[in-house]
Structure 1
Amino acid sequence: MRNAGAVRTAVAAAACSFLLMTLSACGGSSGGDGTERQAASGSGDSRQEDRPAVDLKRIPDVGDQLQSKIPQNAGQVVAVYGDGKNSGDSTVVLYTKSGATWDKTRSWPAHNGKKGWTADHREGDKRSPIGVFTLTDAGGVLADPGAKLPYTQAASFQAPHYWAKSHWHDFDYVIAIDYNRVKGTAPNDPTRPQGQTKGGSIWLHMDHGSGTSACVSLSKSGMEYLLRTIDPTQHPVVVMGDKASLKS
């Protein structure tokens, strides 16, 4: 059961001492040289998709192995389609269930770990973890934009200003991906149940125009849309990986 607001505030404050570890795990700047591809749409605005000609009985381009891990009661799926195993470029698509079928709602150009993807993520490998993970908690530097997920606003999310300026707003909005974390806590809670070497602090957050340390990043407008749309009553999950791994 979720703790009261005062407890969450205390947790966020305690997390401050772990700030550098947390931020490094999620979006750590290696100088912010921006050598990776800029997001495909210059403004990063979302793209409203046409309704598919045929009903989607399952999430497209996701094979049986990962498809079977999407809970039966999931009504929202954020799919992250990585361009390649070793690529930091990807596309985020939101699917919403309607009856027995899925609607492709919106999509955004995005980035993932700057070195690509892995099925065995480890701290500092600069690769995003492949898999299906729940989405239960959100937060950021900025005030709650109307999130349906529990939202924690805290200054401790702020990226340090010795990072490249392009990274300063990475964590204005974040949605925690439930990889090696305690559900029902602020995204920057440093607790890692499977140990530090397993990595953690994997978030959806705002894009700086290039690959991350392990997170998935997209435009501010995209993050605002997801925060206002992802609904815990719909048991949302993210399915993420490079396209080849997703299909396997």
Structure 2
Amino acid sequence: MRLGEGRRAGAATVTAVLLCAALAACGGARAERGGDGMARAGAQGGGHSVKGVGATRVPGVGDRMQRRIPVASRQVVVVYGDGKDAAQATVVLYAKRGPNWERVRSWPGHNGKKGWTARHRAGDNRSPVGVFTLTDAGGVLADPGTRLPYTRAASFAAPHWWAKSHWHDFDYVIAIDYNRVKGAPPDDPTRPEGEERGGGIWLHMDHGSGTSACVSVSRGAMEQLLRTLDPDEHPVVVMGDRAALKA
């Protein structure tokens, strides 16, 4: 048994009301029903390898964001939003090899349906811009082989009164450490900075359109991220629209 697994299993039994509040930030609680459910071209694929010459800086990330990446971090997931008000993004996994950042894999994805903001608030349908650690994972499905602490629970399942295209959103999730308690399961509803700041921001499986604030990618992408991210490498996500990332 993984160290602390018993504590996590207990935490995952939060009440249905609190759980729905946590899930709402990530997907379809406010999703329009009647969408066509079709992903952007290639969004359901497994991504493609883009290994190449490394760089000493994470590409497309300006000084302000570069300085926020912890010195110890050797894995970075960058979410390059298409635009401030756009819901489409490209998600790229980088690994640090010696002094260089190597681009390992990329996938199409989605972010908040109204785009991005540096001042995220609950219900604004925008994803928060920033650099956040990645410390905890979970979902409906069994652990696919991640090194991250993983909480499996049926309670992650999206309610079936949501649009059918959202039912598998939370089969796999990785918590983005925005206004949450690190080391807690992703569905822990605690908001240290207050409810108005929002929370429950996750990497999760894509349903083919924008989210309420999370970042979504295909199942194949989630499986690879879960199998690759390693707490010993201090992984972080750097996320925002391309202009904000370069600033």
On whether the aligned pair clears a TM of 0.5, the verdict is yes
Q: Which residue of 2 aligns with 1:65?
A: 64
Correspondence for 2:21: 21
Alpha-carbon RMSD across the aligned residues, in angstroms, is: 1.6
- Whether the 8 Å contact between 1:37 and 1:89 is mirrored in structure 2 is no
Other-structure match for 1:102: 101
Aligned to 1:156: 155
SS at match of 1:26: coil
1:27-53 deviations in Å (ceiling 9; x for gaps): 13423443697323153221100413x
| Partner Cα separation in structure 2 for residue 103 and residue 167 of structure 1 | 33
Equivalent residue number for residue 40 of structure 1: 41
Contact kept, 8 Å, 1:141 with 1:156, in 2: the verdict is yes
The count of aligned residue pairs is 245
Alignment partner of 1:137 is 2:136 = yes
Q: Residue in 2 aligned with 1:202?
A: 201
User: Kindly tell me: are residues 42 and 17 of structure 1, through their superposed partners in 2, closer, same or farther at Cα, counting changes over 3 Å?
Assistant: closer
Residues 3/192 of structure 1: CA separation in 2 closer, same or farther (3 Å cut):
farther
* 2:236 paired residue number: 237
Summarize the Cα distance change of 1:15–1:82 in structure 2 as closer, same or farther, 3 Å threshold: farther
Map of 1:111 onto structure 2: 110
Alpha-carbon distance in structure 2 between the residues aligned to 1:210 and 1:4:
35
1:133–1:237 CA contact under 8 A, matched in 2: yes
Equivalent position of 1:219 in the other structure: 218
- Structure 2 gap ranges (5+): none
Alignment match, 2:32: 31
Q: Is the 8 A contact 1:58 1:101 kept in 2?
A: yes
Quick one: distance in 2 between partners of 1:111 and 1:42?
A: 9
In 2, the alpha carbon distance for the partners of 1:32 and 1:44 equals: 24
- 2:76, 2:235 within 8 Å by CA — same for their partners in 1? yes
**1:16-36 deviations in whole A, cap 9, x for unaligned?**
431221111111342344369
Instruction: Indicate the percent of aligned positions where both proteins have the same amino acid.
Output: 62
Q: Contact 1:44–1:218 (CA<8 Å) still a contact in 2?
A: no
Distance of 2:88 and 2:34 partners within structure 1: 16
CA contact (8 A) 2:43 2:109 kept: no
Q: Distance in 2 between matches of 1:179 and 1:35?
A: 30
Q: Deviations over 1:139-166 (max 9, x none)?
A: 0000111111000001110000011110
